[in-house]
Amino acid sequence: MIVPVITVHADSIRITDDRGQVVLLERPARRVVALYGAFNEILYGMNLGDRIVARTKADRVPPQICELPCIGTHMRPNVERIVGMQPDLVLQMGGRSAALQSVQALERFGIPVAVFHVSDFVQLFAMINKIGDLTGAGKEAKALVAQMRRRLEAVRQRLPKNGSPQVFFEVRSGNLLAAGQKSIVNDIILHAGGKNCVTLHSRLVRLSEEELLRLAPEVYLSQQGPMNPVPVDVRSSSRFASLPAVQAGQVFQVDEQMFSRPGPRNVDAVERLAGILYPDLFPEFYERNQAMELK
């Protein structure tokens, strides 16, 4: 195997990604391929959308991303096509071993790849700042993080001091899958003044119907998106009629990419969930949620 030789310049950029790997660039990245849609939203949030040169099959936000050439999926990108685009940086979200196979292949071609793992807002903000470093847009990254922090703080200040509704977040209806404690969804629930009733320290948790009944959530959120294309209304089965969320009419459908994809719109998710949990305290967010409620 031929090992690429990297010449280190005085103005080179060096970060350590969430694998513990050093990512070294000779200069700020100008041609970026994101293998996970959240990175595109972050780059657009820093006004760097013109540096994105490709998209994955699932990318739809922002709408103009659809005009870019497709390089496959998040888990199975076309390595040869990516190499042909001559990117000076590839971004990937870790968490599953299959996602790292393409990373290793790209690195063998000498393409710098930064891999991140995000399960809360602290890690999300750190990732945004590192992307800012890699693109020479540290100031823009800090501004984006500051804006997100201000909005989260504005929600926090209006939350009640006592009481946290028990929230269940359905990731997938068939073979019921829920968001666990190590998911960004868990931190969204906490920042919105709720409590995730799934207490296992995993990102995703598989549950039986009996376990869901035992959890007895007061609010039931069902995401709609690539992982859960056609959510099954939990109220459609008499078996779940005893759930507090069903009895109280607190069953909602939410945007998967807003809630489960780590990125700037996670703050929108916090605001919308605060409107669900505390409609009297957040009437402006509650109004947005009317279309989200499952009829």
Whether residues 248 and 138 fall in one domain: no
Whether residues 118 and 196 fall in one domain: no
The pLDDT of residue 2 is 38
Measured CA to CA, the distance from residue 57 to residue 154 in angstroms comes to 35
Tell me if 83 sits within 8 A of 109, measured CB to CB: yes
Tell me, yes or no, whether 234 lies in a domain: yes
* pLDDT of 159 strictly over 90: yes
91-141 tens-digit pLDDT:
999 877 777 888 999 999 999 999 999 999 999 999 999 999 999 999 999
Q: How many domains does the chain have?
A: 2
Is the previous residue joined to 69 through a cis bond, with omega within 30 degrees of 0? Answer: no
The pLDDT of residue 287 is 59
- Host domain of residue 69: 13-149
For the chain, give the DSSP string.
-PPPP-PPPTT-EEEE-TTS-EEEESS--SSEEESSHHHHHHHHHTT-GGGB--B-TT--SSGGGGGSPB-B-SSSB-HHHHHHT--SEEEEE-SSHHHHHHHHHHHHTT--EEEE--SSHHHHHHHHHHHHHHTT-HHHHHHHHHHHHHHHHHHHHHS-SS---EEEEEEETTTTEEE-TTSHHHHHHHHTT-EES---SSSEEE--HHHHHHH--SEEEEEEBTTBSSPPPGGGSGGGTT-HHHHTT-EEEEEHHHHHS-STTHHHHHHHHHHHH-TTT-HHHHHHGGGGB--
Q: Please, what is the average pLDDT of the chain?
A: 91
Domain end position, chosen among 125, 149, 173: 149
Entry pTM: 0.91
Measured CA to CA, the distance from residue 128 to residue 167 in angstroms comes to 28
212-258 tens-digit pLDDT:
999 999 999 999 998 898 898 999 889 999 999 999 999 999 999 99
Q: Is 95 left (phi over 0), alpha (psi -120 to 50) or beta?
A: left
Domain end position, chosen among 104, 121, 149: 149
The pLDDT of residue 294 is 44
Domain end position, chosen among 97, 121, 149: 149
Specify the CATH number for the domain of residue 258. Answer: 3.40.50.1980
